Chains A and B, each alone.
Chain A
Amino acid sequence: MRDGENEAFIVDRYLESLLARRPADVTDLPPPLRATAAALVDSLPRYHPSFRFEEALAARLAGLSEPSGAADAAGELILFPATPATPVAPAAAAVDLRPGSMRRPTVIGGVLTSAAISLAGAAYVAWRRSRPPADPMARAIRAAARRRTA
């Protein structure tokens, strides 16, 4: 394995640990790369569609899902090569309520108004809901939330 590929492999392993919120203590990775990776995880925003758009599209899809509506679908079938065999674990699609993971900004439909702040939080939680709680804090937060809604 060449040096570049070797470092790419090390970076990949480090990112796995970073995204799992348990950054590995790697000594063979340049500190600037580690710092940049952490900065990207914390800083790159997530954009969420507006509630109005989401509901309008949901209604349209629901209409097209009716037996008589499917044939009228405006979308056309796009052909793809064979679907890869890599499974997507549910954890890959989702959620982390742990404190260190809540810094990433969320933008809803291009505008974040004061009335939308709670929606931003809800969107963020919905986005990441399926990640299993891996530490006691996350379990505690979820338990508290369940108690509130019970």
Chain B
Amino acid sequence: MDAARTDPARFDALYRKYVAQVYNFAVYELGDHHEAEDATERTFLSALAGLSGFEERARPEDGPEASTFRIWLFRIARNVVAERRRGRRRRPEAPLDLATAHPDPTDVEGTVVHREAAAAAWRAVNGLSGDRRRAVVLRFVHEMTTAEIAAILDRSEGAVRVLIHRGLRHVAGELGAPDRARR
């Protein structure tokens, strides 16, 4: 991180490390691969332009490789995505290209079952609103901690826990266990 700040040419390592995560976040937010590419590009261009202003908040005792760069980058991505979404009426409702997504293409039966499960999960999560959906995606797909999500969404950790809890209950209901999930 320090190397990239003093020498922008070193930015490539940060780009390689995070490009897939930013793109993935954009796909979940925008529901379109081309728009996600545009948002990813804009995010990294903004990050590069603002790199000198990034302030590392990790402390030495957090470990030699600890960094708050990912939080900073995702905050940029969140703003870029929000800007792109302003002109749009609604989010897409159909799952994205899940028909081809399975790690084992030789397992046809498993592929069908997994595809259906993935499509159902995608639909249920896509049905969540705003920050509830973002919190669930950042938690379950990006596997971020509650603290990281809170920093990205500008909320308290307690608020993020509640967002995820309510999101999970909603998804449980959508996936077929409404009564038990709502207890």
Residues of chain A having any CB pair with chain B under 8 Å: 4-5, 7-9, 11-12, 15-16, 19, 30-33, 35-37, 39-49, 53-54, 57-58, 60-62, 64-66, 70, 73-78, 80-90, 92-93, 102-107, 109-114, 117, 120-121, 123-124, 126-127
Contact = CB atoms under 8 A, between A and B. Distances in A.
Chain B interface, DSSP helix/strand/loop, else mixed: helix
Interface in B88-110: 96-98, 100-103, 105
A124 B104 CA distance: 13
Contacts of A60: 41, 45
A127 B16 CA distance: 10
Contact of B121 (A9, A43, A76): A43
A8 B164 contact: yes
Given A88-B58, A93-B17, 20 more contacts: A8-B164, A8-B166, A12-B165, A15-B139, A15-B164, A19-B143, A36-B181, A43-B117, A43-B120, A48-B24, A53-B40, A66-B9, A70-B48, A75-B49, A76-B49, A87-B66, A88-B69, A89-B66, A117-B105, A121-B103
Contact of B101 (A58, A66, A83, A107): A107
B66 A90 contact: yes
Interface of B: 8-9, 11-12, 15-21, 23-24, 27-28, 33, 36-37, 40-42, 44-50, 53-59, 62-63, 65-72, 75-76, 79-80, 96-98, 100-103, 105, 114, 117-118, 120-122, 125, 136-137, 139-141, 143-148, 150-151, 154, 158, 161-162, 164-166, 168-169, 171-172, 175, 177, 180-181, 183
Contacts of B164: 8, 11-12, 15
B161 A8 contact: yes
Contacts, number: 248
Chain A interface, DSSP helix/strand/loop, else mixed: helix
Contacts of B76: 78, 80
A17 to B, nearest CB: 12
B140 A36 contact: no
Nearest to A109: B33
B85 to A, nearest CB: 16
